Amino acid sequence: MLRQVAPGRYDTYEALLRAVAEGRVWMLLWHGQAGSPDAQYGNMEVDGLGYAPCVTSAQELAASGWNRAHEVVSGRSVAAALYPDRWGLWLNPHAPGGGVGIPWLDLRRITGGLDRLPAGPLRLSEPAADIPQFYALLAQNARNTPAVRALRRAWVQPALGAAYLAIGLDLYDTSRAAVESVRLMMQQSVGAVPDGLPVSTVSLADEYDPVAMWMRANARPFYDRDAYGGGTPAPVAPSPVSGYGYPPQHGWQAGAY
């Protein structure tokens, strides 16, 4: 898969992500031994983003010339370990062309499910769809749902797959009962959405979700319990989220992670 991946080939890149999720990688250790408390991955920086370097087989390990320790781990487990600290994974940095980097947001997708989270890089903007009935009904139902503080919205265009309307949920309470009340609120509201328009929700409290990050930075609430709705947001130009999807290739420098 690595030999086939190229910038803009998001279908091939998705196949690579699946291969990493289902396979193993040989993580390069800058300090310590595999399984030891002082073990540290190497690190490298590309375009301001941090990555932990690895190789994809015992043969690639030999070809890399790495003379320190390593550990063999599943792609899914290393993805879960790296993304919360916003570290990506760089595959075969010794290879001709410099290998391929997987940014942390795509490691999050590996951890959370490639079919459940949209393929990046995402294009996000203020929705252009004119559906005032849906927004009015949703705001009315939100007023009757005490767990909801505010609602925001975004139009999401994944790199692969259909675009959709995302509703950002700003909640006072995330208990099971509160979440169930919000699920019911959405269920009571989606009937006003035109046929064929996909709608999804995202928690604005999720510090790792790229749609939530964009909404917090760019989208004013269309419902705010304190202001009972507020004004109409000005249109926002489509904007990519940094660190999502296939990055440029560059040389690498090792260090400690």
Q: What is the pLDDT of residue 3?
A: 85
**Structure-block tokens of residue 6:** 């190229």
Q: Given this structure, which CATH class describes domain 123-240?
A: alpha beta
Architecture of the 10-112 domain: 3-Layer(aba) Sandwich (3.40)
Q: Which of 167, 172, 164, 166 is nearest to 139 (CA)?
A: 167
Domain-wise residue ranges, the chain: 10-112, 123-240
- For 99-136, letters b (16+ CB in 10 Å) and e give bbbbbbbbbbbbbeebeebbbbbbbbbbbeeebeebbe
How distant, in Å, are the alpha carbons of 40, 84, 149, 228 from that of 43? 9, 15, 40, 48
**pLDDT < 50 regions, the chain:** 229-238, 240, 244, 246-257
How distant, in Å, are the alpha carbons of 97, 101, 246, 255 from that of 251? 8, 11, 15, 14
Question: What is the CB neighbour count within 10 angstroms for residue 59?
Answer: 9
